[in-house]
Amino acid sequence: MSESDDSSSEESSKCDLDHKQIKIWNYEYEDHEWVDSDIKTLIKELSKAGLSPSKSCQNKFKQKYYQDESIWLSFCMANDYDQFIRIMITGLKPDSDKYKRIIGIGVNAWESFIVDAGFEHHYHLLHTITFPRQDYDYVLEILMKHNTFNFFAT
Ligand SMILES: [Zn+2]
C-alpha cells in the first residue's frame, strides 16, 4: 500500500473536472488509481468493499441539485450500487430521516441521495449516486465499519 501527494491531470483520471487528484491503492483491482483528493479515503474504502466506482468526483454538480457541495459516484455494476445502498441503510429505522434521505424519499430533494442510471458512449449503462457533502462522514464511517467485519473474511 502506498500513497503519493502528486497531483495530476492525466487521462486515467476518474474525474472530468479540474479537481486536485491523488494516487491511491485500489484493493479490489490491486493497482493504483487517481481520484479526487477530497474523497480519497472514501474511494479507498469502497475498493476494500469490492465496490470501486468507475468514475467519481468530490463535487460534480456544484449547486445543481444541492445547496452545498455533493459527492458523485458512478458504478458500472447495478449490483455494486445496490450493495452500497444496502450497506448505508443497515441498522437504520425505515421511518428515520436518514433512511428516507438515503433511499431518496427525503422531505427535501436537495438533502436526499440522488440515483440515476444512464448510458455512457451509448452502450455502458452506469448507475450513479450523488449525495450531499454533509453526509460524507456518515458514509465513510458506515463503510469502514462494514469493512472491519468483512475485509479479511474472504
Ligand atoms: Zn472531481
CA of 23 to the centre of ligand 1 (A): 14
pTM, to two decimals: 0.84
CA of 153 to the centre of ligand 1 (A): 32
Rounded alpha-carbon distances, angstroms, from residue 38 to 20, 41, 43, 59, 139 = 8, 8, 10, 9, 14
With 50 as the cut, is the pLDDT of residue 80 above it? yes
Count of residues in the chain: 154
CA of 89 to the centre of ligand 1 (A): 26
Contact 124, 76 (CB under 8 A): yes
Higher pLDDT, 145 or 116: 145
Please report where in the chains the cell 431518496 appears, as a residue.
104
CA of 91 to the centre of ligand 1 (A): 31
Which of 60, 11, 50 lies closest to 34 in space, CA to CA? 11
CA of 20 to the centre of ligand 1 (A): 8
With 90 as the cut, is the pLDDT of residue 14 above it? no
Per-residue pLDDT, 150: 81
With 80 as the cut, is the pLDDT of residue 107 above it? no
- By CB atoms closer than 10 A (0-12, 13-18, 19+), residue 99 is middle
CA of 145 to the centre of ligand 1 (A): 26
Residues with CB under 5 A from ligand 1 (ion): 15, 17, 19, 36, 57
Domain ranges of the chain: 53-150
CA of 95 to the centre of ligand 1 (A): 33
Phi, psi angles (nearest 5°) of residue 107: -60, -45
With 50 as the cut, is the pLDDT of residue 119 above it? yes
CA of 21 to the centre of ligand 1 (A): 8
CA of 82 to the centre of ligand 1 (A): 23
- Give the dihedral of Cα atoms 9, 13, 123, 84; nearest 10 deg: -150
When mean pLDDT is compared over 34-43, 69-78, 108-117, the highest value belongs to 34-43
State pLDDT tens for residues 29-66: 999 999 999 999 999 999 999 999 999 999 987 766 67
Per-residue pLDDT, 68: 80
Which of 39, 129, 21, 141 lies closest to 84 in space, CA to CA? 129
Which of 131, 88, 87, 134 lies closest to 112 in space, CA to CA? 131
Q: Give the Cα separation of 62 and 83 in Å (integer).
A: 26
